[in-house]
Amino acid sequence: MMIQSDETMPRRSGQQGLWVLAAVAMSLVLLASCGDDDEPNDPSPDSGTQVDGGVTDSGTPDSGTGSEDGGTETDAGTGDGGTTPQTCGPSEVICKEQSIDKLDLLTVVSTGNMSEEGTTSGEFLSYVDARAGGLTPTMSYTYVRFTPQGLQRVQIDDQAALGSTEWDLAFRRYTMRVNSGTSGASCVSVAQTAEGTTFASVTSVDTAWTFNKEAWYDNACTFIADDVLGGALTQLGSYFRYEGCLAMTGKVFVIRLADGRHVKFEVVSYYEPSVQTACNDTGSLPSGTPSGSGQFRVKWAFLP
């Protein structure tokens, strides 16, 4: 029988210790590798919580599917450094049948003329013939969208427009409506600037503004009328005051489009310009002169 000497025992013990240390090291490497595999699957604490937040009028457009125009008009005037713009819609319009009846929404596409009359760079003066056949309209609203080249017509009738995200703004007679809420499937919304604000003084978006969607019906489909002429209470309705004629208030609005751009907007006239001046100054229309009512001239520009 071989007897281990005092010299061989420590050497073997040392070798066993090295094997133990090696095994421990390998275990630590395996544990670290497992941790790295799991980390990418951990959701971020903020993931999916800050897109909508349940707030529709906070100054950030609702998130949703891409716009139907392929995003070709969303790069100009955004000041967003070329990032992909946010879009919204389509959404379901509540009280649709009630709106069709109450607002006399038709299926004949408007043929009213449109043109650009402004000459100031970056600022538009757009003419829109919103007469729609007369006091009892025979045609739909004139539907438009804002583009870097001016207002662009969208060939669509009233009833189809309720389910479309292609348009931003609609005109007929004295009524203007934006595409959101009870008016359409998009999320175009409107903020009113403070009384006395001039068009030139609005140069950027104010985070204090509150943007509202169209809501001339409540959830019970009870109609909400304006307190002037009894029509639908629209977000742009305060562009005029009624004193025997539609006098302009000079109110400046800011319209937030579905792609996140902002437009400052003022209605310059509802009648022919000389008639509008007389109405603003005297509260009545000049006698013996056609008023040219239902022919809008609106001033607007994209905000950075």
Query: Taking the domains of the chain in order of start, what are their residue ranges?
Result: 96-303
- Sign, CA torsion 200/121/149/115: positive
How far is the C-alpha of 161 from the C-alpha of 183, rounded, in Å?
8
Find, among 206, 200, 209, 207, the residue nearest to 300 by Cα: 200
- Kindly report whether the global pTM for this prediction surpasses the value 0.85: no
**What pLDDT, on the 0 to 100 scale, is given for residue 289?**
85
**What pLDDT, on the 0 to 100 scale, is given for residue 86?**
60
Find, among 151, 153, 142, 192, the residue nearest to 302 by Cα: 151
How far is the C-alpha of 273 from the C-alpha of 275, rounded, in Å?
5
**What pLDDT, on the 0 to 100 scale, is given for residue 243?**
87
**What pLDDT, on the 0 to 100 scale, is given for residue 55?**
33
**What pLDDT, on the 0 to 100 scale, is given for residue 88?**
81
How far is the C-alpha of 89 from the C-alpha of 117, rounded, in Å?
32
Question: In this structure, what are the phi and psi dihedrals at residue 282, rounded to the nearest 5 degrees?
Answer: -115, -15
**Beta carbons of 274 and 266 less than 8 angstroms apart:** no
How many helices (H) and strands (E) are present in the chain, helices listed first? 4, 12
**What pLDDT, on the 0 to 100 scale, is given for residue 220?**
97
Identity of the residue numbered 36: D
Tokens of 48: 């999916």
Write the CA distances from 157 to 59, 128, 160, 177, 206, integer angstroms. Answer: 30, 16, 6, 14, 34
Tokens 């006098």, residue located:
247
**What pLDDT, on the 0 to 100 scale, is given for residue 26?**
41
Q: For the chain, which residues score pLDDT lower than 70?
A: 1-86, 89
How confident is the model over 232-252, as pLDDT tens digits? 999 999 999 998 999 999 999
Question: In this structure, what are the phi and psi dihedrals at residue 230, rounded to the nearest 5 degrees?
Answer: 80, 10
**Beta carbons of 233 and 219 less than 8 angstroms apart:** no
* Residues written for the chain: 304
**What pLDDT, on the 0 to 100 scale, is given for residue 7?**
35
What is the overall mean pLDDT for the chain? Answer: 79
How far is the C-alpha of 180 from the C-alpha of 256, rounded, in Å?
11
- Residue 61: asked if its preceding bond is cis (omega within 30°), the reply is no
| Half-sphere exposure at residue 49, Cβ-oriented, CA atoms within 13 angstroms | 5
Q: Give the other-Cβ count within 10 Å of 90's Cβ.
A: 18
**What pLDDT, on the 0 to 100 scale, is given for residue 38?**
32
